[in-house]
Amino acid sequence: MSHDHDHDNDLDRMAARVRALETILVRKGLVDPRAIDAIVETYETRVGPRNGARVVAKAWTDPAYADWLKRDATGAIASLGYTGRQGEHMQAVFNSRDTHNLVVCTLCSCYPWSVLGLPPVWYKAPPYRSRAVIDPRGVLEEFGLTLPGDRKIRVWDSTAELRYLVVPMRPAGSEGWDEERLAGLVTRDSMIGTGLALEPAP
């Protein structure tokens, strides 16, 4: 049996579904492809983890900014141009040798889009939302993060009124790096608390 359409064999099942839906909507004239491109570009370059990574990198290199971020995260983040939906009321929590911070939203999936982009699927899943509070150490181990037994884990519950950004500890070996290079070490998971900042490559 022959057919004359191409297959998106390089796409996983979900991506292929999204591509098919987009194609149908565009062909029916219900969606302008330029609007889709603009939305994708917004979340890839103007909204998302890159923004949060720049906030963290600035806090690592600028003590005055770090202090501002601790006192008024909403204002400090907005000063870099990162504002908007679900980013109006922010609090930054700083990891230390004594305390590791973990963010969850037990009631729904409140998430700071302006600095972290769209929430990952697991963040919205009931098992994460319940177990992060009951057994945070166990949850972190499932993410591959095993912390020293004497390190306290503090869980922060996001709400519609207040959302959190974890500032991970700056990794050793990054001394003298500029903000742009440091931002490359900051992952989305490290700003939720389910991971750490990346170690500099040898």
Task: Return d(Cα 93, Cα 194) in angstroms, integer.
Answer: 14
Is 109 annotated in a binding site? The answer is: yes
* Cβ-proximal residues to 132 (8 Å cutoff; 6+ apart), any chain: 102, 104, 106, 139, 155
From the candidates 110, 114, 158, 190, which is the catalytic residue? 110
Question: Is 2 one of the catalytic residues?
Answer: no
Question: Is 130 one of the catalytic residues?
Answer: no
Is 190 annotated in a binding site? The answer is: no
Question: Is 110 one of the catalytic residues?
Answer: yes
Q: Are 170 and 182 in contact (CB under 8 A)?
A: yes
What stretches of the chain adopt beta strand conformation (E)?
A: 90-94, 99-104, 152-157, 163-167
Q: What is each CA distance from 153 to 30, 105, 137, 174, in whole angstroms?
A: 48, 16, 7, 25
For residue 199, how many other CB atoms are within 10 A of its CB? 11
Letter string b/e over residues 179-194, b meaning 16 or more CB atoms within 10 A of that residue's CB: beebbebbbbbbbbbb
Question: Is 109 one of the catalytic residues?
Answer: yes
From the candidates 105, 158, 174, 190, which is the catalytic residue? 105
* Cβ-proximal residues to 70 (8 Å cutoff; 6+ apart), any chain: 92, 94
From the candidates 2, 79, 109, 130, which is the catalytic residue? 109
The DSSP secondary-structure symbol of 56 reads: H
State the binding site for Fe(3+): 105, 108-110
State the binding site: 105, 108-110
Mind telling me the catalytic residues? 105, 108-110
